[in-house]
Chain A
């Protein structure tokens, strides 16, 4: 089933992931000696010691969040690119992140509006929790609309364009909200747009982790169907794949992954498009039984590395996560793509 190259690459990625995870626990915006990091993790040090608080309540949940978010976005992107047979597709092509942005914009910018206060107030939420709830609501609303329409439209390209149009329309509403908002609130809004894994606490991780795991499992069980879809709908049908249900399920699963990550971490754009290209380039295959685990690993590595670099270890400043990802990731994708083109065609 798997060639030795695939095994080598996948095990190499596992090692890299472990290293990236450890690095993100050891490196941070302040320096903590390795010994103290280990003491904090193993519970040796006192719980009120600032260093222990930093490692246990800031670094560890942040690293786990990066891991889950990276895996989720990588896999969701792979699913969408296969589904639409379009190398530019990402988990947000159906307007998911625009929907989430709109929800967040209503909470952050439209505080004077009665409707928003009512919504989050009824849920008893404020601050970051309200933002997350609003993002989920916005993403689900757009997803619901798109799937309703998609169920009636056969052509994937049409669905893609519909998603795009939904996205534009919703973004336009966000722009209007921005124009009417108070300057102090714009800063909070801009900060959400930077993307961040740091806001996910243990409490939120208890919701975030299971949701992404469900989405990842949905992708894992559908790898064979995805392989068949890759060869075209007619072929898939002749293989006995129920094309429409598979398509709807994949679309919903991938969008949910995108929506959950956006809700908890903000709009993290780049990972969602880059990871599948790196996977295919490194592994030289289009077999989803290999690509899905590779996307989990590469997504996790990329997210952890970007997170660690964004903190500028040793300095007090923090770079926007989205900026770090795109700046460092774009050249990687270019190199991998150009190398792969020499051998086999990507996608």
Chain B
């Protein structure tokens, strides 16, 4: 009876396949919620992997049931930190040293910076947000709807983190903006993982935006993050290539004056990189600062009096009022020709600007605005998202 035997084998094989199915499913995609059942030491639980291409301050290595994530500086000038992200339902590795061990995917996140919230929006995982440092720093429709559910707590309303609140609410994890403070050690010692997201230490807008993958690591949302970032990056590069080929390349100045001191974007800052990528020549390109730099008004006049375009000042309702604020603005050609551009198109009456929340993860949009300013013919159909000229 070879046929019957064959049939019996067939049934047996099919039932094994059906029984093994939950496990098989877990290895075709990352599990974005819940835990795995029946740990298999040989299974790769993270078929979707993130690769950092532009961000220099973060690294991830994949093991079968956990990820090792290293952040180069936990805060500006601080030490590196190593995080173990262990798939829920699998045993934590015994021989791995780590500063923090986090069970993933996390189900509730306390986020210190509006930028982290922006990443959650992009990943479609805003429901994981249960805490922010200050509610009034958040803007945007989706975020407002999430806040309206009442499930988002405020944990640092007065700058200082309320460690008691965080510990009593027990979120899966707290993500800081790369800062160290006493309340954080209290939270850590209470068993709540604290991880640093130092996106703002990166030198280019793309590198900063790539930290969406860092947020994704904790949610097992690598597939989505890879796609989002990859598409955004190709849009950015294509546009940048066209802008860099355009001529003439206008000279660009940045900043605003307070008490005769100009706070400008540093020559190695992401803003300087954006200007170059948008086909502009930054007048302080040789400056060594990676963040902002303060220069004397005199130095700015000497350097930028003939700059074609002035970006990233702000706080002015019109150009007449700019002069009341600082009469020496009239020394700049960009002022006289009306080429003063600020990212305040979506500034709210309360003084909050959605730019700070949403622009970091979408540098392609910022770039498009800048290209429209620097090379109008290239982008005549582009609707400004953030920038506007200061009215007369």
Instruction: Tell me the A residues contacting B by CB distance below 8 Å.
Output: 28-30, 50-51, 53-54, 57-59, 62, 111-112, 125-129, 176, 178-180, 182, 184, 187-188, 191-192, 196-203, 266, 311, 316-318
Contacts and interface: CB of A to CB of B under 8 A. Distances in A.
Contacts of A191: 258-259, 261, 263, 294
B273 interface: no
18 contacts: A29-B295, A29-B298, A53-B301, A54-B301, A57-B328, A127-B325, A129-B324, A179-B160, A180-B158, A182-B351, A191-B294, A192-B258, A196-B261, A197-B260, A198-B259, A199-B260, A201-B326, A202-B327
B302 A201 contact: no
B331 A57 contact: yes
B299 interface: yes
Contacts of B356: 184
Given A59-B298, A180-B159, A192-B259, 17 more contacts: A28-B298, A30-B298, A53-B328, A54-B298, A54-B301, A58-B298, A62-B260, A126-B316, A126-B324, A128-B259, A188-B258, A198-B259, A198-B261, A202-B327, A311-B296, A317-B295, A318-B295
Given A180-B159, A191-B261, A196-B261, A30 B325 contact: no
Interface of B: 136-137, 157-160, 258-261, 263, 287, 292-299, 301-302, 305-306, 315-317, 321, 324-328, 331, 350-351, 356
Nearest to A200: B260
Contacts of A201: 326-328
A316 B258 contact: no
Given A111-B351, A129-B325, A198-B296, A50 B331 contact: yes
B259 A199 contact: yes
B260 A196 contact: yes
Contacts, number: 109
B240 to A, nearest CB: 27
Across the A-B interface, the 5 shortest Cβ-Cβ residue pairs: A198-B260, A127-B325, A199-B259, A29-B296, A196-B259
A58 B301 contact: yes
A188 B268 CA distance: 22
A112 B350 CA distance: 6
Contacts of A54: 298, 301-302
Given A112-B350, A318-B261, A318-B294, A50 B302 contact: yes
Nearest to A30: B302
Contacts of B328: 53, 57-58, 201
Contacts of A125: 324
A316 B296 contact: yes
A176 B160 CA distance: 11
Contacts of B137: 182
Nearest to A192: B259
Q: Which of B137, B292, B327, B328 lies at the interface centre, i.e. has the most chain A CB atoms within 10 A of its CB?
A: B328
A120 B260 CA distance: 21
A266 B258 CA distance: 12
A30 B299 contact: yes
Nearest to B158: A179
Contacts of A199: 258-260
A152 to B, nearest CB: 37
Contacts of A188: 258
B259 A127 contact: no
A290 to B, nearest CB: 35
Nearest to A182: B137
Contacts of A57: 327-328, 331
A198 B260 CA distance: 5
A65 to B, nearest CB: 10
A203 B327 contact: yes
A264 B287 CA distance: 30
Contacts of B293: 316-317
B325 A128 contact: yes
A126 B325 contact: yes
Nearest to B260: A198
A140 B265 CA distance: 37
Contacts of A196: 259-261
Q: Which of B287, B294, B350 lies at the interface centre, i.e. has the most chain A CB atoms within 10 A of its CB?
A: B294
A269 to B, nearest CB: 16
Nearest to B296: A29
A203 B328 CA distance: 11
A53 B261 contact: no
B326 A128 contact: yes
A180 B157 CA distance: 7
A201 B356 CA distance: 32
B327 A58 contact: no
A153 B302 CA distance: 56
B326 A127 contact: yes
B317 to A, nearest CB: 8
Contacts of A112: 136, 350-351
Nearest to A188: B258
Contacts of B315: 126-127
A106 to B, nearest CB: 14
Contacts of A128: 258-259, 325-326
A166 B351 CA distance: 31
Nearest to B299: A29
B259 A266 contact: yes
Nearest to A52: B331
B31 to A, nearest CB: 36
A129 B389 CA distance: 23
B52 to A, nearest CB: 26
